[in-house]
Amino acid sequence: MPSIRIQRLQKELLKLLNTSLKLRIRDKRLSMVTFTEIAVTTDMMYAKIYFSCLNDDEIKVEEMTGLLTKSLGFFKKEIANSHLMRTIPDMKFLYDSSEKYSRKLEKIFEKIHNEEKGVN
């Protein structure tokens, strides 16, 4: 489990990157992307940034990952301008499939609930 300092830094980075994504980035194709979690290593040299999309088709996810990777310089500049960290970590963007998985589970639970109502 990361230290309190790392956890606080992750929360601040998440706020900063989401704000930058919504307000400052020019590419409108990224308007459906939201960063969900950031995992920074203890030495603060690497960061995994998890994101989700409104339209999470496989092709769309790969396209969004590519667009975010192309915008990496922009995000690094935003972190540098915020003076949040001394060194800017190497960042990797990963798709967060937990939302898609939870929607699938929700449909299964709804189907079970409807079947139970029909039986009783």
The pLDDT tens digits of the residues spanning 64-98 come to: 999 999 999 999 999 999 999 999 999 999 998 88
Q: Does position 12 have pLDDT exceeding 80, yes or no?
A: yes
> What's the pLDDT tens digit per position in 96-109?
888 777 788 889 98
Q: Tell me, what's the pLDDT at 119?
A: 63
> What's the pLDDT tens digit per position in 33-72?
999 999 999 999 999 999 998 776 666 888 899 999 999 9
**DSSP 3-state assignment of 107?**
helix
What's the token pair of residue 108?
């299964």
DSSP letters for 5-72? HHHHHHHHHHHHHHHHHHHT---GGGGGEEEEEEEE-TTSSEEEEEEEESS--HHHHHHHHHHHHHTH
C-beta of residue 18 within 8 angstroms of C-beta of residue 35: yes
